[in-house]
Amino acid sequence: MPTQEELREAAQTVIKISEEIKRRHKHRKLYSLFPDKGPLRRELYKPHIYFLKAGKDYFERCIIAANRVGKSILGGYEIALHATGLYPYWWEGKRFNHPTRLWACGASFQTVRDIGQEILLGPVGSWGTGLIPGDLIKDIRRRAGSIPNSVEQITVKHKTGGLSVIGFKAYEQKRQSFEGTSMHGIWLDEECPMDIYGECIIRAMTVNEDEMGTVFLTFTPLMGLTEVVLKFEPNGAMPEGRAPFIDDPNIIHGVKESKFVINATWDDAPHLTEEQKKNIIEGTPLYLRDARAKGIPQLGAGAIYPILEDDITIEDFEIPPWYRRCFGLDTGWKATAALWGAIDPESDVLYLYSCYKQGHAEPETHVRAVKSRGYWIPGVGDYAGTNQLDGKKVIEEYMALGLNISFPDKHVEAGIFAVWERMVSGRLKIFKSACIPLINEIRIYRRNDKGKVAVEQDDHLCDCMRYIVMTGIFIATIAPFEDEEYFIGQQSMRSSIGRMPGPGYFGGIY
């Protein structure tokens, strides 16, 4: 029978062992992420795993995600693996078989300390409990300055026996601080200025003669369509190219050249409860809700047309013959664009149903394209340039080529207001399939901090839309009966009218 003293010693031993197990578990957080089984198992985080996998084939990667879906943990996880070499058995992404030089970056030293540093090291006072196993941290160099407990660099033991180095950097340091040696991996948490991103690309472009590094971003697009967002989503939406290794149609992603981008929403975060989602969304302005919940970039206060696409787009349909039609034309050498609209005479709804955009072509090419939509359709057009005299001559050249066109009302702000008024009143609808280029332009059509239109190099169809609303709808007309080609396939409509339309029917406004 053990004595009281023996029982007390045994109890203390159990407590010590339990505490040591807890301590070791706290220092082994890296091994707990993306498990095979359980409510937070790896298969439930598909966008996250695809993002990691894409590192094998794509030099630049970006996950544009909703708030609280684990995007920063994801970035820190990859940095920790590259620093330690402790890739899990299921890893298919970018791999380094030697010690690495890495950067973990954020907007300011404070956000770097509170997010990236804490993810990798653990909370202040408990360093070694983050994603870098505590026993592998060989040195921590603190940063001099006004941000307490801010770390500048850590040295980590790699599984090969060498030492990896992780530097913590902030965008507020400006581009010059990102110059220097080549880097194996750079993690940019939240959006960065374009000049810093460009410098990071240079740092990771060539690490050794036969090895490239990797650059990846993890952020919620609260700043809207910034230069960096548009680098991955040129039209404010996912590019058309798709990664061949993703066969799930529910995973929104795209590929543009060597750049991979993927979206993650609250639906991809099983750790979030409905109560947490509700609390986040209730405290979020309306124009930012899609960004926070779905990772969809918003134009926010700078949007010229801050309206949901679903409110102004419509499924394509066959335009009835009694709708009046017109087109808007914006000409230029870099790009000539045309947009066609049809007015429902009963509801006064303007349907934008077709568009054309082509650069570096002669006027004859554009005229043929415009006439192919209906030679009889009247239009309003302008020259995409600053010289009014040259612009007038260009439009007169189009007239000489037989185009039925006149000059529009060009007042920009009045035109923008007129388009906006139609949008919010439900009297302007855009065909979803036939007018994708126009929808793309509207997404990035915004003002700068001085209130001026910030996107002028890719706004030709938006200009055409203004021309139609300001001038085109007043000269719009119905197809003449003699346009037999137009009326092919319209027999059922003519029958429903009850008679063959005569000259009076097509002579003017119905």
pLDDT tier at 332, thresholds 50, 70, 90: confident
28 pLDDT above the threshold of 90: no
85 pLDDT above the threshold of 80: yes
Please report the pLDDT score of residue 494 as a whole number. 38
46 pLDDT above the threshold of 60: yes
338 pLDDT above the threshold of 80: yes
26 pLDDT above the threshold of 70: no
pLDDT digits (tens, 9 = 90+) for 133-170: 999 999 999 998 889 999 999 999 999 999 999 999 99
Please report the pLDDT score of residue 505 as a whole number. 30
Please report the pLDDT score of residue 233 as a whole number. 86
pLDDT tier at 388, thresholds 50, 70, 90: low
Please report the pLDDT score of residue 368 as a whole number. 93
Residue that wins the pLDDT comparison between 438 and 283: 438
Residue that wins the pLDDT comparison between 179 and 216: 216
Which sequence spans correspond to the domains of the chain?
24-298, 309-475
Q: Provide mean pLDDT across the span 477-503.
A: 49
Mean pLDDT is lowest, of 25-39, 131-145, 297-311, for 297-311
pLDDT digits (tens, 9 = 90+) for 236-288: 778 888 999 998 888 999 998 889 999 999 989 999 888 888 888 877 766 67
Please report the pLDDT score of residue 108 as a whole number. 94
Q: Whole-angstrom Cα distance, residue 465 to residue 416? A: 9
Range ranked top by mean pLDDT from 75-84, 386-395, 406-415, 476-485: 75-84
79-101 b/e (C-beta count within 10 Å ≥ 16 → b):
bbbbbbbbbeeebebbebeebbb
Mean pLDDT is lowest, of 58-72, 289-303, 345-359, for 289-303
495 pLDDT above the threshold of 70: no
Cα–Cα distances (Å) from 332 to 249, 258, 329, 380, in that order, read 39, 31, 10, 15
Q: Which residue has the tokens 């991103």?
A: 197
335 pLDDT above the threshold of 90: no
Please report the pLDDT score of residue 196 as a whole number. 95
Residue that wins the pLDDT comparison between 145 and 364: 364
Residue that wins the pLDDT comparison between 8 and 465: 465
Please report the pLDDT score of residue 501 as a whole number. 36
Q: Provide mean pLDDT across the span 373-400.
A: 78
Please report the pLDDT score of residue 15 as a whole number. 62
pLDDT digits (tens, 9 = 90+) for 90-127: 999 999 999 999 999 999 999 999 999 999 999 988 99
User: What CATH fold (topology level) applies to the domain 24-298?
Assistant: Rossmann fold (3.40.50)
Please report the pLDDT score of residue 458 as a whole number. 77
Q: Provide mean pLDDT across the span 356-363.
A: 89
High-pLDDT (> 90) share of the chain, %: 56
179 pLDDT above the threshold of 60: yes
The 3-state secondary structure of 74-132, one letter per residue: HHHHHHHHHHHCCCCCCCCCCCCCCCCEEEEEECCHHHHHHHHHHHHHCCCCCCCCCCC
Q: Provide mean pLDDT across the span 342-365.
A: 93
pLDDT tier at 45, thresholds 50, 70, 90: very high
Average pLDDT score, the chain:
85
Mean pLDDT is lowest, of 83-92, 97-106, 282-291, 497-506, for 497-506
Q: Are 99 and 86 in contact (CB under 8 A)?
A: no
Q: Provide mean pLDDT across the span 194-207.
A: 92
Return the half-sphere exposure (C-beta side, CA atoms, 13 A cut-off) of residue 7.
4
Please report the pLDDT score of residue 484 as a whole number. 46
- Residue 139 sits at φ, ψ, to 5 deg, of -160, 140
218 pLDDT above the threshold of 50: yes
Please report the pLDDT score of residue 496 as a whole number. 35
488 pLDDT above the threshold of 50: no
Residue 429 has which token pair?
A: 């609808």
Phi/psi region, residue 260 (left: phi>0; alpha: psi -120 to 50; beta: rest), is beta
For residue 444, the SS3 value is helix
DSSP β-ladder status, 101-106 and 163-170: parallel
pLDDT tier at 6, thresholds 50, 70, 90: low
Return the half-sphere exposure (C-beta side, CA atoms, 13 A cut-off) of residue 311.
11
CATH of the domain spanning 309-475: 3.30.420.280
pTM metric for this prediction: 0.69
